[in-house]
Structure 1
Amino acid sequence: MEFLAQCNARKAKESNPACQVLVKRRTDDQPPQIRVTFVNGVEEVFDATATPAQTIRNMILEKGKFLETEQMFREAGEKWPVIIPEEELHKSFPGTKPRKAEDKKQ
């Protein structure tokens, strides 16, 4: 019920207006499940008694970000999944170092 409440919250509906929620109440002795079908057709089933609503929500959001990234690469004409060559994985990354307060010009 907590997960359903989160899905029906105004903020959640505004952030993903295409999301559809279908409630099927069970009348058997099976534990409650939350079944999620993503835009790519992949379906995941969560045990609603053993998994907190917030954890399920976070897993769905992570999967959504992954699917958005996949879509972005595909729309750019890139192959998916992206294969990073082994030698690229071992290259050092120069990065940026934050300057200390004393080093900053005043």
Structure 2
Amino acid sequence: MLKFLSKVRIEFNALDTRTAACMEFLAQCNARKAKESNPACQLTVKRRTDDHPPQITVTFVNGVEEVFDATTTSAQNLRTMILEKGQLLETEQMFRDAGEKWPVLIPEDEIHLRAPGTKIGLEFDVSRKGEFPQCCDMYHFRFSMGFYKCLE
């Protein structure tokens, strides 16, 4: 998780009952595996004495900073969001390294084209008859969207 981040700042009041997400996220950041993934990531903890809600600020390796309210976001959800955004950053970098423009824009008409080499299946509704067609037996069918599709 830390491999996508350059800075993590965790702010909370130790006497506040809403600090569970901060404490859990801090434990995840201090884990050996997380630290080994990015030793250069700066982890800062600020203990507050006011009523400010707990918050977690992360700075991604590309410089984008995001602030999360730790009272409404669990540590697991925060970790998932960081990993998803990190995968997007990796994909973006992969395209840029290959000399491609980012973001990749796919024309609307190409999105709906059938991929080459795919089989066009025979669809039928078994609720009408309850029987499979003569072309093959029931083991050659896959159920999809209320219909069985012939896989031959």
TM-score, normalised to structure 2's length? 0.59
Q: Does residue 20 of structure 1 match 2:42?
A: yes
Deviations 1:29-81 (A, max 9, x none): 11010001111111111111211111101101111110011111111111010
Deviation at 1:20, TM superposition (A): 2.2
Matched residues, number: 97
Q: Distance in 1 between matches of 2:60 and 2:37?
A: 15
Deviations 1:14-41 (A, max 9, x none): 2333322111222221101000111111
Q: Does residue 42 of structure 1 match 2:64?
A: yes
User: 2:95 is matched with which residue: 48, 51, 73?
Assistant: 73
TM-score, normalised to structure 1's length? 0.82
Q: Which has the higher mean CA deviation after the structures are superposed, 46-55 or 14-23?
A: 14-23
* Secondary structure in 1 matching 2:45: coil
Q: Distance in 1 between matches of 2:100 and 2:31?
A: 36
List gaps (5 residues or longer) in structure 2.
Answer: 1-22, 120-138, 141-152
Q: Distance in 2 between matches of 1:18 and 1:79?
A: 29
Amino acid of the structure 2 residue aligned with 1:16:
N
Moved over 4 A (4+): none
Cα root mean square deviation, aligned: 1.8
Name the one with the larger strand percent: 2
* Aligned residue number for residue 51 of structure 2: 29
Q: Which has the higher mean CA deviation after the structures are superposed, 65-74 or 17-26?
A: 17-26
Amino acid of the structure 2 residue aligned with 1:9:
A
User: 2:114 is matched with which residue: 89, 92, 102?
Assistant: 92
